[in-house]
Amino acid sequence: MQTQQWYWTPTLGWGEIGQNLSDADLVFIAADTPYFYGADCYSELRQRFPKACILGCSSAGNVLGARLSDQDMAITAVKFTHSRVRLVAMDTEQSSDLLALSKNLLATLQEQGLRHIFILSDGQKVNGSDLAKGFWEQEIAVSGGLAGDGTRFGATWVMANAPARNGCIAALGIYGDIQVRSTCFAGWHEFGTERIVTRSTGNIVMEIDGQPALTLYKKYLGNMAIDLPGSGLRFPLSVKLPNDDSKLVRTLLGIDEATQSLRFAGDVPEGAICRLMRTQLDDLVDSAADAAKASLDGSDNPGLCLLVSCVGRRLVLGQMAEEELEAVQTILGPNMSITGFYSYGELAPHGALMNCQLHNQTMTITTLRE
């Protein structure tokens, strides 16, 4: 495996991007610039990488190595030696049934030698929980993330062998003689009383323990409740699903004073047991290191790390955000090229059955090594 990495910036443009690896099999782009949305961006990439699967998304922060950047594009080109990739994409305009879309993506990628599927999805128009459910009925691990839009929480974009567009779900199939590992760690800790979600629809929670959800949430936050929903990023919800011992983290995205409800970044089903969570900055950095350690395979061959970390972690870490990237880089070592982005949700295997789930507030790492 060979990799090369560059930045596109508004002032320097493309520079020497692609000159030394024009025969790349895969080009991955994390972008925080309006230029990414236009047709010219894809045309330029296709001209420089005529044979590559071109995959990328808008972000809440671009990652190359241990560097976090905004208002640019972080670009990684990959040439495989013993493996290959195939890229397919579908749009929510084709169907509102995310379960069916997920299954169609899987069916299209099912070929001999399939080792892993990496997903990039629109982060606003797509319910990540429903998207993940479509991957449950297969034995191939699935990981990835939901595109971001900085802290603006507006439109998100995915590029998949075509100009970037909204509502797109892209799936990259990875085949052949290649080792792929995917890990997901959070670093958040529960506190307070266990409570039961008594009324909810999808990602909207109306009642907890028979009480209005927003009223109860404000009671826990005390003086910080005045800054909701922003302050909710510091107090996500631990959700234990019915008939499942595993737990997921759900980030608060919005509140509705009229209905006294809470809107989370993923589904919170009725009957789930929930507790509030909090963290220390060092715990987030340590969890990133733990994710990197869990992805180690004992090899020192050149590899690629696709890193997806939650925008909520970046907001909590603030100026310390690069410390979690440095922790990952230190563990993975100099032969692992790291790229990725800060997201509106992470996809990774979870629980005893290793079903793909939507996660919030996690560091999710997928490593590829031939």
**Could you report the per-residue pLDDT of 355-366, keeping only the tens digit for each?**
899 999 999 999
Q: What is the pLDDT of residue 351?
A: 61
Distance CA 26, CA 294 (A): 25
Tens digit of each residue's pLDDT (9 = 90 or more) over 13-53: 998 887 789 999 999 999 999 999 999 999 999 999 999 99
Lowest mean pLDDT segment, chosen from 245-254, 306-315, 339-348, 352-361:
352-361
Between 153 and 96, whose confidence is greater?
A: 153
Report H helices in the chain: 39-48, 98-109, 128-133, 213-221, 281-294, 311-317, 321-332
Distance CA 175, CA 324 (A): 30
The CA-atom distances, in angstroms, between 43 and each of 25, 36, 88 are: 17, 11, 18
Q: What is the pLDDT of residue 17?
A: 83
The model carries a pTM of 0.93
What would the mean pLDDT of 88-106 be, rounded to a whole number? 88
Asked whether the predicted pLDDT for residue 96 surpasses 80, the reply is no
Tens digit of each residue's pLDDT (9 = 90 or more) over 189-221: 999 999 999 999 999 999 999 999 999 999 999
Helix axes 321-332, 281-294, angle to 10 degrees: 30
Q: What is the pLDDT of residue 135?
A: 86
Tens digit of each residue's pLDDT (9 = 90 or more) over 117-161: 999 999 999 988 889 988 887 778 999 999 999 988 889 999 999
- All residues at 6 or more sequence positions from 140 whose CB lies less than 8 Å from its CB, including other chains: 106, 114, 115, 116, 117
What would the mean pLDDT of 335-339 be, rounded to a whole number? 98
Q: Percent helix, strand and coil across the chain, each rounded to 5?
A: 25, 40, 35
Q: What is the pLDDT of residue 352?
A: 58
What would the mean pLDDT of 318-342 be, rounded to a whole number? 98
Asked whether the predicted pLDDT for residue 353 surpasses 60, the reply is no
Tens digit of each residue's pLDDT (9 = 90 or more) over 223-269: 999 989 888 888 999 999 877 777 899 988 889 999 999 998 889 99
Asked whether the predicted pLDDT for residue 99 surpasses 90, the reply is no
Q: What is the pLDDT of residue 244?
A: 78
Tens digit of each residue's pLDDT (9 = 90 or more) over 262-307: 998 889 999 999 999 999 999 999 999 999 999 998 899 999 999 9
Q: Can you tell me whether residue 130 is helix, strand or coil?
A: helix
